Amino acid sequence: MKKPDVKVVILGDMNVGKTSLLHRYTERKFRDTVSTVGGAFYLKQWGPYNISIWDTAGREQFHGLGSMYCRGAAAVILTYDVTNWQSLAELEERFLSLTDTANHDCIYAIVGNKADLSDPRAQLPVAPDDQGEEPRTEPQVPSACPTPPASPVSPVSPGSLPKQVGRDEAAALYARVLRYKGLDEKSSLPADRMCFETSARTGYNVDALFETLFDLVLPSILRKRNENQRSPTVDLEDYREPTGKRRGCC
């Protein structure tokens, strides 16, 4: 099995479209997804590097696993639904603390998905495909956490929903994330680079999101590689963790 060089984690409330985002990026299509159980990951070949992208479960039930997924992450994608203000609030209330286990130099992206529902610009499919025409119905989990009122339950025509979260609110959240992490706003990446509005259904901005992040985590990969090279032990066992990484817990 290929060893991932770096880890990217997608966090966010249930039903904001984390799996769809990843699916749009990896399969170039939008299709109905079922509620993610536990988590899933995808290995992306980015140049000579392997990047593992973890798609986490948004359901409250699996909330406890989040910090494990985030451990050692080089980038975290905090995802909300632009038509659902609560989903942004949840990021700060529930998900931000999960990132405590991420790398100290982890980079954060704030991503507002489902932009096609409120923004006519996001409705143009990037790559036309038949899936895009299907009504968007993300199956709800009946018993799980409170359903956001604005979240689409039945087929919605594009552009019909009011936008509940503006770009400025996302940028404000980004600033609060930096503050929470104790990072200086000036030396960190600027909010306008790290806040995205995407649409997994039309593909709007999805490639830009992932590719921007991959380019930004490259230094992290290189540093990790160097650390591994410094290790004097030769790992004959393929599945053994490189010793350089051990420092995290000891």
Partner 1 sequence: MSVKAFELVPAVERDLLMGDKARINVECIECCGKHLYIGTNDCFIHHFLLEEVPSQKGRIKYSAQKLQQKYLGLKKPVTELRAASALERLIVLCDGVLFLVDMATLETVPSATGSGGAKIKGVTSFCMNGNPVNTDPFCVEIAVISSRRRTVQVYTVFEDRVQLVKEVTTAEQPSVVSLDGYFLCLALSSQYMILNYTTGASQDLFPYNSEERRPIVKRIGREEFLLAAPGGLGMFANAEGVSQRAPVNWSESVIGAAVCFPYVVALDQDFISIHSMLDQQLKQSLAFRDGHILQDFEGKVVLASTKAVYVLVPLPLEQQIQDLLSGDRVEEALVLTEGAQLNIPRDRFQILHRRILQQAGFIQFGQLQFQEAQEYFRKGELDARELISLYPLLLPPTSSFTRCHPPLHPFADLNHLAQGDLEKVLRCKRFLISYLGSVRGTEASRAAREEVDTALLKLYAEQDHESLLDLLASDNTCLLADSAPWLEKHSKYFALGLLYRCNGHDSAALQLWIRVVDGELQDSTRPDLYEYIVDFLTFCPNLDLVWRYSDWALKRDPKVGVQIFTKRSSGKDQSGQPKLDDVITYLEKHSHARLLYLEHLVLERHIKKEKFHSLLAVLYLEQVLFLLESSPPPAPDQLSHARDKLQALLRESNLYRVQLLLGKIEGCDQLLLERATLHGKLEDHGKALDILVHQLHDYSSAEAYCLWASSSQGPACRQQLLHLLLDLYLGGGAGEKRGDLEMAAVDLLNRHGEQFDAVRVLSVLPEGWSLQLLKPFLGRAVRTSVHASRTSRLALGLSRAENLQLLHDRLKERRKPILVSEKRGCHLCHNTFSCPDVVCLPGAIPVHTHCIAHRLSDSAPNTHADSTPSKHTDSTPNKHSTQNSNHT
Which residues sit at the interface with partner 1, rule CB under 8 A? 1, 4, 37-41, 54, 57, 59, 61-62, 64-65, 67-69, 71-72, 101, 237-241, 245-246, 248-250
Which lies closer to partner 1 via its Cβ, residue 71 or residue 223? Answer: 71
Angstrom distance (rounded) from CA 138 to CA 142 = 12
Task: Pick between residue 38 and residue 149 the one whose CB is nearest to partner 1.
Answer: 38
* Closer by beta carbon to partner 1, 71 or else 167: 71
Rounded to an integer, what distance in angstroms lies between the CA atom of residue 79 and that of residue 17?
Answer: 8
Supply the minimum distance, in Å, between the C-beta of residue 65 and partner 1: 5
Residue 167 or 223 with smaller CB distance to partner 1: 223
d(CA 8, CA 158): 30
Beta-carbon-side half-sphere exposure of residue 98 (alpha carbons within 13 Å): 30
Helical spans, DSSP H, in the chain: 18-27, 66-70, 85-90, 167-180, 191-194, 206-230
Least Cβ distance, residue 224 to partner 1 (angstroms): 13
Quick one: 73 or 161, whose CB is closer to partner 1?
73
| Smallest distance from partner 1 to CB 73, Å | 9
**What H or E segment, with its residue span, contains residue 52?**
strand 49-56
> Residues with Cβ < 8 Å from 157, sequence gap 6 or more?
none
CB of 26 to partner 1, least distance (A): 14
Give me the DSSP letters along 211-226. Answer: HHHHHHHHHHHHHHHH
Residue whose CB is less far from partner 1, 100 or 133: 100
CB of 55 to partner 1, least distance (A): 9
In angstroms, what is the minimal distance from the CB of 37 to partner 1? 5
Find the length of the chain.
250
* 121 half-sphere exposure, CB direction, 13 A CA radius: 3
